[in-house]
Structure 1
Amino acid sequence: MISLHAFLRQVLPIGIAMAMTIGSLSAHEVQGPSPSAGLGALVFPTSANSHEAQAQFERAALLLHLFEYEDAAAAFIKAQSLEPDFVMAVWGEAMTHNHPLWNQLDEEAGRKALRKLGEAPAERAKKAKTAREKDYLSAVEILYSGSGNKVERDARYDKAMQAMATKYPDDDQAQLFHALALEGRSEGVRNVPDYLQAAAIAERMFRRNPQNPGAAHYWIHGMDDPEHAAGAIEAARALSKIAPDAGHAQHMTSHIFIALGLWDDLIQANEEAVRVVYAHARERGKPEVHCFHYNEWLLYGYFQQGRRREANALLLSCKRTGDAGLKATGGKEAATLADRFHDSLPTMRATTVIESGDWNGAAVQLAADHHDGDYSNAVAVFASGYAAAQRDDFAQATESLQALSRIVDATSPDGEAMQLLDYLTILRDDLDGAIAFRRGDVDAAIQRVGRAATRMDMLAFDFGPPVTIKPPRELLGEILLASGKPDDAAEEFRKSLKAAPNRALSLLGLARAEDALKDHAAAASTYAKLLKIWHRADNDLPAMQEARQYMAR
C-alpha cells in the first residue's frame, strides 16, 4: 500500500494564505472564498471587469468541479454574455467538454467553444489579459488544438497543469485541476500512485478551503478503492454538505461508502442524489426517469441490505419512467435519453437477476432493449443465460453463451474503454463455468471461473458495484462449496470480500463455508455481521431466516 503521507511530503508547500491576491493578476481583490448557494465556495480571480460576470464565472467553476458539466457550460456561457471576450469564461466552457475520469473528450465541442476567441491558438492567446490567464488558456488548448492522440494530449495537459501549479502555488484551482489531470491521464483506469498523489494535493486544498467542492471531490476520487478508502472518509462526510444542490456531490460520497461496505450511508447518499436530480428535472420541465448511474448504485445498495421489494420496485420504475420519458421527448434530447436508458436498464436488470437469485422472476422476464455489441447488451445476455443455467434450461443458457462469445469475438481493444474486452471475457467465462457446473462438470467449471477470477485480479480496480455483475471469486467460492471443498471456498469468499467489503452474497457464502468447516464461532460472527447489515431487510428474506436460526442454535 502506498502511503498518502508519502505523497504529502512530495507535494508543493502551502505558500501564502489564500486570502492574499494571487500575484497582481486580477481585477478583483481576493478577500476570501466566494460562495454560491448550494454549491460551495472558492477563490478564482480573473481579469473580468463585471462583478456579475465574475460571480457567474465562479458559480460555473464550482459546477465544473462538481462534474455538473451541462449546468457549468450554461453558466460559463452566461458569464460570456455579461462580459464580451471573457477569456476565462471561454476557457471554462471548453473545460466542460473534457470529462477526464470518464475518459470522455468532445473535441469538436471544445474547439467550437475556443473559436469564440479566434480561429487560431495564437489569435486566442492575444485576448488573455494576464500571464496567468494565458497559461490557463494555453493548457486547455493542448486538449483541443494539440497534435497526437488523446493519451498523448492528456499527458501533455497534465505537465502543463503541473507547471501551472508550480508557477502559481497560491492558486487553489490550478492545484486542483492538476490533481484532476493526474487522475485523468490514465484514461479512466486507476493508476494508484497518480491517484494517491492527486488525493494528497486535493486534501491539502481542502485544508486551505474546506468549502471548495473540488478539493473533497478529487480527494474522494483519488482513494475510492477498498485499500485506501478509509483515508478519504472525511471528504465523503463533507462533500454532500458542501454542495447540497448538486446531485453528483450527493452521489460522490458513496464512492467511499461502497468501498468500505457502508450500506446505510450509500443508500442515503444516492437517495439524496436522485432527489436532487428529480427536482432539477421538474424545474426544467424534463421527464423524471428512475434509471441511470445514481439509481444503479441505489438498487445495488438495496439488495445488499436485503430490501428486495424496494429494489424490484425501482427496476420496474426505471422501465416505466424510461418508456414514458422517451414518449414525452423528441429530437436530439430523445436520442440522448434513449442511449442512456438502453444502457442503464440492462445493467439494473442484470443486477436484480443476480442479487435476487430469482431465476424466473420479473427481472428475468423484463424486456430490455439494448444495442448490439456493447456492454449493456453483454450484461443483458449474461443475466438471461445465468438465470437459465440456474433453472437447468441448458438450451437457452447455451444460446446466451454463444451470443456472449460472439460479442467477445467482435470486440477489439479500445483506447476509450481500456478494460472493456477483459470485462466481456470475464462475463463469458463466468457464464461458461456456471453452465458447466449445472451440467455436473465440476472440473471444467472450476477451471473456467478460476480463469475469469485470475483475469479480474489483474485488472485495475474499478469503483462501484461489480462491473462484471457476478464477481468471479464469489462464483468460484459457491462452486467449490457446493462441490464439498469448504476450505477452498472460504478462501475465495475472503478474496471476494477484499475487493467488495460487506458484499452480502460473499458474506453469506463465507458463513456457510465456515459452518461446513465446523468453525461455528467464525460462522456465527459472519452471520451476525449479515444480520446487522440486514436491519431493514424484507421479513421473508430466506437468508435472513437462515442467519437467525443459526444464531439461535
Structure 2
Amino acid sequence: MRRLCRVWLCLLFVASLSSAHEMHDHGTPERLGDVSFPISCAPSVQEEFNRGVALLHSFAYASAEQTFRGVARVDPQCGMAHWGVAMTYFHQVWSPSLPLSVFPAGQKEMLEATRLSAKSERERKFIHALGALYQESDGLTSSMRTAAYEQAMAEVARENGRDVESRVFYALALLSNASPTDKTHAKQKQAIDLLEPLSREYPNHPAIAHYLIHACDSQELAERGLPAARAYAQIAPSAPHALHMPSHIFTRLGLWNDSIESNLASRKAAHERGDTLDELHAMDYLVYAYLQTGSDKEVSQVIQDLKAMPNLDMSNFGIAYAATAIPIRYAVERGRWDDASSIALPSGAPPSVVAIAVWARGMGLARTGRVKDAREDADRLRQIEAQLRASGDNYWSTQTGVLASEVMAWSAQASGDTHQASVLLRAAADQEDAIEKQAVTPGPIVPAREQLGDLLLQQKQPEFALKEFQTALAGAPGRRGSLQGIAQASRPNDRAELY
C-alpha cells in the first residue's frame, strides 16, 4: 500500500509540473543557471524548488508560480512553496512592483506560508520578511511596504552571512527601493558591493549577473555592469529575460549591434514560449536600437509584427508600454509629424501609457503648426500628470509633466514665441536629467535635451545647440539624433531641421 502511495505521489508531481516543463522543453536541456536554496520540505521537492527560484531570479514569474504551486501540491506542508508563489507577484524593479490586482492573492499565500511555518529559522525569516510586504494595513503605501521588506531582508542577510540566496534577495530588495531621483545611486552601489564578490564565488548563479545589470543600469555605472551583461545570457539561455537583460547595459553604452543581437534572441525565445510581455519588451528595445543604426526597414517589420499580435492585455503596464511606444518611436524619431499627429490613444491602458500617445499626438500637431490642438493635448497631459500625482505615482507624474512641457515648448515655437519655447524645453530637459529612467524603457522617445538642441538649431543658435547635443550624447551615448545634431551644429551654413 505504501509503495502504491509513493507511485501515486510521483505521478501527481509529474502531472502538476508538466505545464511548467512544457514551456521550457524544446528538445534541449533547460539551462537556468545554478541555484541551491535548501529548504526543510520533503526531499523530493528540493530540485523543483531550486528550479522555481532560478525562474524567479530571471523574472519568469508565470513559470515560477507554476513550479512553486506544483511543489505545494506534492508537499502540502511546505510553507516555502507558498512563499515562492507570493514572491512571483512582487516585481521588485518594475512599476508597479506590487500591483493592487494581485495583492490579495499574494497576501493569501503569505498567510498560508505563515500558518505552515518552517522547520528552519532561516526559512521562517524569509517568510517573515515577505510578510512585512503583505501585512494588513490600509495606511501603508507601496514604498512603505517595500522599505519594510528591505529592512527585514537586511536582517536575513546579516544572520545568514554565508548563504548566497539571503544575500542576493537582499540585493534585489535594495534595488526595489532605489530612488530614481537619487543620482548618487547609493542603493545601487550598495547592491553592487554585495553582488560583485559573489560573482567570483558563484559565476553561474543567474541572480548575481541579473541584479548586477539592474544595479548598473545608469550612465554612471554602465561600464561596471558590462561583465555581467556579457555573462548573463550564457548563464541562463533558457530564460527569455536573461537573453534580453544585457541590452540594458548595451543601450546605456551605445552598443547597438550587441543590443540588436540580444533582443532578437530574447524575442525569439519569448515567442516560442508564448511570453507576450517579454516578447514585446524585447521588441521595444530592438526598435530603439534599430533606430539608432538607421535600420528603418527592420523597424517597419517589427511594427507590422506588432499589428499582427492579437488580444494584447493593455491593462498590463509592461505590455501596454511597449505596444504603445514602438510605433511612436518610429514616427517621432524620424520626424513623421503627420503620422504622430494621428496616433490613436491606447484603449484600456494605464494613464502613464496613455500620456505617451497624447504626447506624440501633441508633438505632431505642434510640429505641423496646429498650435491650438497641440495645446489641448498639453492640457490633457497636465490632467494626467495631476491624476498620477494624486494616485501616488510620483515617477510617472513627473515624466508626464516633462512631456507636457515639451508639447508646450514646440507649440510656443510654432506660434513664434521662441523665448518661451526655449525656456520651457530647457526646464523639461533639466527635470528629465534629474531622474533615472525605469527598467521598462530603453529611454525617452527623444530625450528633452536632444530636442532642446534641435530647437536651438531652428532658432539659428548653432553654438548653443552644439552644447546641448553634446550633453545629450554624454547621457545617452550613440544616439543617432544627437550625433546628427552635432554634425549639423558644427556646420553653420547648414540649418536643416534635425527631426
Q: Normalising TM by the smaller chain, what interval?
A: 0.7 to 0.9
1:184 to 172, 176, 181: 176
Counterpart selection for 1:320 from 308, 321, 339:
308
> What residue number does 2:407 align with?
431
Residue 310 of structure 1 deviates from its aligned partner by 1.4
1:366 and 1:489 map into 2 onto residues whose CA distance is 29
After TM superposition, the structure 1 = structure 2 runs for residues 59-98 of structure 1, keeping only pairs within 5 Å, are 59-98=51-90
**Alpha-carbon contact 1:100-1:188 (below 8 Å) kept:** no
Say which of 117, 137, 141 aligns to 2:131: 141
Deviation digits for residues 127-171 of structure 1, max 9, x if unmatched? x11111111111111111265433233222222212221211221
Cα distance in 2 between the residues matched to 1:153 and 1:133? 20
Q: What are the superposed Cα offsets for residues 58-104 of structure 1, whole Å, 9 maximum, x if unpaired?
A: 00000111111111111111111222211222211111111111142
**May I ask how many residue pairs the two structures share in their alignment?**
461
Does 2:443 match 1:480?
no
Structure 2 CA distance, aligned partners of 1:372 and 1:441?
34
Taking structure 2 as the reference length, the TM-score comes to 0.85
Residue matched to 1:523: none
Match of residue 30 from structure 1: none
- Aligned equivalents of 1:341, 1:457: Cα separation in 2: 26
Q: What pairs up with 1:87-486 in 2 under 5 angstroms? A: 87-102=79-94, 103-105=96-98, 106-117=102-113, 121=114, 123-125=115-117, 128-145=118-135, 147=137, 148-186=140-178, 192-281=185-274, 292-321=280-309, 325-326=310-311, 342-361=320-339, 365=342, 367-371=344-348, 374-415=351-392, 417-463=393-439, 465=441, 467-486=443-462
CA 1:189/1:270 → structure 2, altered by over 3 Å: closer, same or farther? farther
Q: CA deviation at 1:443?
A: 0.8
Q: Is the 1:199–1:220 contact (alpha carbons within 8 Å) kept by the matching residues of 2? A: no
Share of identical aligned residues, percent?
Answer: 30
> For structure 2, which runs of at least 5 residues remain unmatched after alignment?
1-28
Which deviates further from its counterpart, 70-79 or 364-373? Answer: 364-373
Return the alpha-carbon distance in structure 2 between the equivalents of residues 309 and 277 of structure 1: 22
CA distance in 2, matches of 1:385, 1:165: 49
In 2, the alpha carbon distance for the partners of 1:480 and 1:337 equals 39
| CA distance in 2 between partners of 1:474 and 1:79 (Å) | 51
**342 and 178 in structure 1: CA distance in 2 versus 1, 3 angstrom threshold:** closer
Q: Matches of 1:188 and 1:70 in 2, distance apart?
A: 27
* Conservation of the 8 A alpha-carbon contact between 1:94 and 1:110: yes
Q: What runs of 5+ residues in structure 1 fail to find an aligned partner?
A: 1-35, 327-333, 519-541, 544-553
Question: In the alignment, is the contact (CA less than 8 A) between 1:111 and 1:144 conserved in 2?
Answer: yes
Q: CA deviation at 1:124?
A: 3.7
Query: 1:414 offset after TM fit, Å?
Result: 4.2
CA spacing shift, 1:90–1:467, aligned 2, 3 Å: same
Tell me the C-alpha RMSD between the 2 structures: 2.6
TM-score (norm 1): 0.78
Matches of 2:135 and 2:375, distance apart in 1: 49
Report the Cα distance in structure 2 between the residues aligned to 1:108 and 1:211, rounded to whole angstroms.
35
Amino acid at match of 2:153: M
Q: CA deviation at 1:465?
A: 4.9
> Letter of the aligned partner of 2:426 in structure 1?
G
Name the SS of the counterpart of 1:85 in structure 2: coil
SS at match of 2:203: coil
CA distance in 2, matches of 1:414, 1:74: 32
